Amino acid sequence: MRHIISILIENESGALSRVAGLFSARGYNIESLTVAPTEDPSLSRMTILTSGSDEVLEQITKQLNKLVDVVKVVDLSEAAHVERELMLIKVRATGKDREEMKRMADIFRGRIIDVTESTFVIELTGASAKLDSFIAALDAGLILETVRTGVCGIGRGDRILKV
Amino acid sequence: MISGAEIVIRCLQEEKVDCVFGYPGGSVLHIYDALFKQDQVKHILVRHEQAAVHAADAYSRSSQRVGVALVTSGPGVTNTVTGIATAYMDSIPMVVITGQVPTQYIGQDAFQECDTVGITRPCVKHNFLVKDVKDLALTIKKAFHIAATGRPGPVVVDIPKDITAQMCEFDYPKTIQMRSYNPVVKGHLGQIKKAVQILQEAKRPIIYTGGGVILSDAAGKLTQLARKLNFPVTNTLMGLGGYPATDRQFVGMLGMHGTFEANNAMHYADVILAVGARFDDRVIGNPEHFSGEKRRVIHIDIDPSSISKRVKVDVPIVGNVGDVVDEMLKLLDSGFKTDPEVADWWKQIEEWRGRESLRYKQENHIMPQYVVEKLYEVTKGEAFVTSDVGQHQMFAAQYYKFDKPRRWINSGGLGTMGVGLPYGMGVLMANPDAQVACITGEASIQMCIQEMSTCKQYGLPVKIINLNNGMLGMVRQWQEMFYSKRYSQSYVTSLPDFVKLAESYGHVGIKIEKPEDVEPALRKAFTEHKDDLVFMDFIIDPAANVFPMVAAGKGLTEMILAEDL
Ligand SMILES: Cc1cc2nc3c(=O)[nH]c(=O)nc-3n(C[C@H](O)[C@H](O)[C@H](O)COP(=O)(O)OP(=O)(O)OC[C@H]3O[C@@H](n4cnc5c(N)ncnc54)[C@H](O)[C@@H]3O)c2cc1C
Ligand SMILES: Cc1ncc(C[n+]2csc(CCOP(=O)(O)OP(=O)(O)O)c2C)c(N)n1
Ligand SMILES: [Mg+2]
């Protein structure tokens, strides 16, 4: 099962490698990982997209909690939450493709943020599945480059992850 | 203001560290200079950094204090890795202080640079690289705090050389608060009540205890609990001494080389009370076979990740053994009744015990079991026994009856050959008047044999019991049983003359070849040569094997017994 784990961790050098090292040493999956400081610069928030059985997930959260730098861990996917991912995608946009690309970007509520004679860079935010369908909807031959941030997520309503 | 190096020493003094095990080098020269100028912290100069860490580890294991090792950067650090991993696997509190190249050289492949934090990260509880002299004292305080609390473990503090030269005010915090680190101590009362209820209903109970009882210094309380319940008790290899081995309720060690009665009782129990033990693969055998029986499991452990890791637990209790057992005792005081069927269970256990699965025959060759039994008699069961890894380790665990905790010092989780002699040194530094026996094999002892020199320098009278079978016995046993006797690389040829070797280091050496000479040699070593290191080279039956044995992939009750062969 797909799970989104959110972690509050001391913003110390090496903290990321402790988390990444834990996943590789114990053979857990990381499908994506994003990290950046929070409004309190001494803390970072990390979002890890992983998958595994209930037993594996239980071990993942327990092992993460055991890391001395980790302040809090929640499995966001256990309750209502929102998740977003950002993608920048560079596409070939010449001739009649130019109009078509613009139309596709509009349909998916993307924005064109860089334009040259022959290319567009489209910015698209949403659930990962939406980004996947955007890619699928384009002519593969026109995609020059994609970059995705990986999932980040937050609990809905009163579900708050804070120290 | 004092220098960073002096801060390091002052911190050790504040932590009441009376000795450190170490080896100097470029990046720790300032620290060694500060060490030289004081006499509160003694330094034991080992002959290899691995031994420094093993000795510090045994210092911890055999006392309630945190062992400390001090080494230089680069090769000094890489030499410590085996020792750190050994302590980590057995949850031993320890602080390892490592030198690092000066801050401005880090990352430039400087002379004797290595990424200490990176190399040790997977085998420490935590580690630190100190980047500012102002953080030094607080970091060392944190290191001791983290090492000794919660589930204990080794902590590395990496200190660049320039930081040990910089000047700073010294202010050692009395207490420490970390928002990211707050181990649970007290168990959840509701869960404890539930557990007590289940114990009351148990018809075929067993108390299965491990290293957590020793680490939490709760052997006394656990014994009280077990007596009150009148349940059988089994210990893991790491838990020996957590319950008196000479007591009737003790059914022996369980697991791969556990007794017939312990393994059967564990397997067929309807209620398992697991205390500070982690259901290791060497303990439960084939997990599918083990989970074939219906039972309820209560598990007390300070580390939530030990619970339901390998075996599903019905009543998890996260907390310190001592605190949780205290609560249980309180609840039991208010009227606890054992189920009458437990009496039948005891009858069954006595029947299993009647198989005498540890019986062996002492004939022409010296049997290793016999040597351990004689050692037990000669030391009246009071010795600290360290061991290396192999058949001799299992014989020591099976035949030396530990009545007290912290007397059995061995590497269980990592199974590190070479620990025995440095463990003896660490035990003696923490318990200067103790009798210390190191039960080893001719292969293991050679992995840290250079420490005989350290023992000479500091007068550490370890009694080395070399159970010499001329083989990598444990490897040979597997090859004999599972590889049709293809003895690939399990012979040790060109052995040194251990007697002469011991003598050349300035110690006493004795070679023992006949069964009737075993006891006199041991007596001589522990009386006449009480203050000497004595190397006893026992030439034992090379064919002796360890039984019972649960072969890899087999279930706990599918033991091979000596009598089957
Ligand atoms: C050659 C060889 C053969 C072996 N054969 C066997 C065998 O036959 N039988 C056997 O048992 N082992 C055997 N072992 C050892 C085995 O590999 C494991 O090391 C051992 O079984 C683990 O013991 P343990 O479960 O007590 O755990 P430990 O490693 O001692 O772990 C202690 C547990 O207690 C918890 N804990 C720590 N402090 C506290 C506290 N204050 N309060 C509560 N909980 C705490 C920890 O979180 C941990 O879960 C063998 C090893 C070797 C090298
Ligand atoms: C450092 C290390 N290398 C290899 C092993 C694998 N191993 C386990 S027991 C053993 C043989 C030990 O021989 P010896 O010390 O003579 O003890 P014996 O089994 O003969 O009593 C070996 C090689 C190990 N445990 N540790
Ligand atoms: Mg041998």
Please write the tens of the pLDDT for every residue from B5-54.
999 999 999 999 999 999 999 999 999 999 999 999 999 999 999 999 99
d(CA B41, CA A100): 77
Q: How far is the CA of B334 from the centre of ligand 3 (A)?
A: 53
Both tokens of residue B522?
């041991």
Helical ranges in B312-471 per DSSP H: 321-333, 342-353, 368-378, 391-399, 420-430, 451-458
Q: How far is the CA of B447 from the centre of ligand 2 (A)?
A: 10
Geometric angle at alpha carbon B178, from B177 and B180, rounded to 5°? 155
Say whether B40 is catalytic: no
Residue B220: its pLDDT value, please?
A: 98
Whether B335 shows a pLDDT value over 80: the answer reads: no
Ion ligand 3, residues whose Cβ is below 5 A away: B 441, 469, 471, 473
Please write the tens of the pLDDT for every residue from B301-316.
999 999 999 999 999 9
Closest listed ligand to the CA of B446: 2
Of A13, A66, A71, the CB nearest to B179: A71
Active-site residue identified among B1, B40, B111, B201: B111
Both tokens of residue B23?
């080896």
Which ligand 1 atom lies nearest to the CA of residue B90? 29
d(CA B212, CA B152): 10
Q: Establish whether residue B454 lines the binding site of ligand 2, counting it when its CB lies within 6 angstroms of any ligand atom.
A: no
Please write the tens of the pLDDT for every residue from B145-175.
999 999 999 999 999 999 999 999 999 999 9
Q: What part of A 26-55 touches B (C-beta under 8 Å)?
A: 55
Please write the tens of the pLDDT for every residue from B357-382.
999 999 999 999 999 999 999 999 99
d(CA B73, CA B100): 5
Look at B129 and A58 and tell me if their CB atoms are within 8 Å: no
Its pTM stands at 0.97
Contact B426, B62 (CB under 8 A): yes
How far is CA A120 from its chain centroid?
22
Closest listed ligand to the CA of B468: 3
Q: How far is the CA of B547 from the centre of ligand 2 (A)?
A: 17
Residue nearest ligand 2's atom 4 by CA: B417
Active-site residue identified among B452, B474, B536, B559: B474
Q: What share of chain B is helix, strand, coil (3-state, %, to 5)?
A: 40, 20, 40
Please write the tens of the pLDDT for every residue from B538-559.
999 999 999 999 999 999 999 9
What residues of A are in contact with residue B305 (Cβ under 8 Å)? 59, 62-63, 65-66
Closest CA to A48 of A146, A128, A129, A150: A150
One-letter amino acid of B511? K
- The mean per-residue pLDDT over the stretch A76-91 comes to 96
Q: Tally the residues of chain B.
A: 565
d(CA A75, CA B521): 63
Both tokens of residue B51?
């031994």
CB neighbours of residue A39 within 10 Å:
7
- The mean per-residue pLDDT over the stretch A110-135 comes to 97
Residues of B with CB under 8 A from a CB of A: 117-118, 121-122, 125-126, 129, 146, 151, 178-181, 303-305, 308-309
Parallel, antiparallel or unpaired: strands A2-10 and A43-51: antiparallel
Residue B564: its pLDDT value, please?
A: 79
What residues of B are in contact with residue A71 (Cβ under 8 Å)? 179-180
pLDDT band at A1; cut points 50, 70, 90: confident
Q: Establish whether residue B212 lines the binding site of ligand 1, counting it when its CB lies within 6 angstroms of any ligand atom.
A: yes
d(CA B177, CA B24): 33
Omega prior to B432 cis, within 30 of 0: no
Q: Establish whether residue B417 lines the binding site of ligand 2, counting it when its CB lies within 6 angstroms of any ligand atom.
A: yes
CA torsion angle B440 B443 B444 B448 (round to 10): 120
d(CA A36, CA B413): 37
d(CA B441, CA A109): 72
DSSP codes joined into one string, B252-305: EE-STT--HHHHHHHHH-SEEEEES----HHHHBSHHHHTTS--EEEEEES-GG
Q: How far is the CA of B400 from the centre of ligand 3 (A)?
A: 19
Pick left, alpha or beta for residue B105 (phi over 0 → left; psi -120 to 50 → alpha; otherwise beta): alpha
How far is CA B281 from its chain centroid?
17
What residues of A are in contact with residue B308 (Cβ under 8 Å)? 55, 58
Query: DSSP label at B354?
Result: T
Which ligand 1 atom lies nearest to the CA of residue B474? 1
DSSP codes joined into one string, A82-150: EEEEEEEEEEE--THHHHHHHHHHHHTT-EEEEE-SSEEEEEEEE-HHHHHHHHHHS-GGGEEEEEE--
Residue nearest ligand 2's atom 5 by CA: B417
Q: How far is the CA of B57 from the centre of ligand 1 (A)?
A: 16
Q: Establish whether residue B215 lines the binding site of ligand 2, counting it when its CB lies within 6 angstroms of any ligand atom.
A: no
Residue A6: its pLDDT value, please?
A: 98
Q: Establish whether residue B85 lines the binding site of ligand 2, counting it when its CB lies within 6 angstroms of any ligand atom.
A: no
Residue B338: its pLDDT value, please?
A: 83
Please write the tens of the pLDDT for every residue from B411-420.
999 999 999 9
One-letter amino acid of B373? E
Residue B197: its pLDDT value, please?
A: 95
Residue B275: its pLDDT value, please?
A: 98
Q: Which of A45, A66, A69 to mutate against chain B (most B CBs within 10 Å)?
A: A66
Look at B179 and A63 and tell me if their CB atoms are within 8 Å: no
d(CA B444, CA B442): 6
Say whether B429 is catalytic: no
Active-site residue identified among B6, B49, B261, B442: B49
Sign (positive or negative) of CA dihedral B459, B465, B468, B471: negative
Say whether B112 is catalytic: yes
- The mean per-residue pLDDT over the stretch B272-284 comes to 97
Residues forming a β-bridge with A122: A89, A112
Q: How far is the CA of B370 from the centre of ligand 3 (A)?
A: 16
Closest listed ligand to the CA of B238: 1
Q: Establish whether residue B272 lines the binding site of ligand 2, counting it when its CB lies within 6 angstroms of any ligand atom.
A: no
Q: What part of A 77-136 touches B (C-beta under 8 Å)?
A: none
Look at A71 and B121 and tell me if their CB atoms are within 8 Å: no
CB neighbours of residue B7 within 10 Å:
28
Closest listed ligand to the CA of B418: 2
Mean pLDDT for chain B overall = 97
- b vs e for A133-163, b when ≥16 Cβ sit within 10 Å of the residue's Cβ? ebeeebeeebeeebebbbbbbbbeeeeebee
What residues of A are in contact with residue B180 (Cβ under 8 Å)? 9-10, 68-71
Query: DSSP label at B249?
Result: T
Helix (H) or strand (E) holding B139: helix B136-148
Predicted ipTM? 0.94
Cβ-count burial of B482 within 10 angstroms (0-12 exposed, 13-18 middle, 19+ buried)? exposed
Q: How far is the CA of B417 from the centre of ligand 2 (A)?
A: 6
Which ligand 1 atom lies nearest to the CA of residue B257? 8
Whether B333 shows a pLDDT value over 90: the answer reads: no
Cβ-count burial of B83 within 10 angstroms (0-12 exposed, 13-18 middle, 19+ buried)? buried
What residues of B are in contact with residue A24 (Cβ under 8 Å)? none
> Which residue of chain A is at minimal alpha-carbon distance from B149?
A68
Active-site residue identified among B125, B161, B221, B374: B161
Both tokens of residue B259?
């007794």
Least confident of B162-176, B297-311, B324-338, B341-355: B324-338
Whether B339 shows a pLDDT value over 90: the answer reads: no
Helical ranges in A8-72 per DSSP H: 15-25, 54-66
Half-sphere exposure of residue A76: CA atoms within 13 angstroms, side-chain side: 25
Both tokens of residue B370?
């016999």
Q: Establish whether residue B276 lines the binding site of ligand 1, counting it when its CB lies within 6 angstroms of any ligand atom.
A: yes
Of B118, B180, B305, the CB nearest to A71: B180
Query: DSSP label at B188?
Result: P
- b vs e for B485-494, b when ≥16 Cβ sit within 10 Å of the residue's Cβ? eeeeebebee
Closest CA to B385 of B498, B465, B276, B450: B465
Chain B contact for A56 (CB, 8 A cutoff)? no
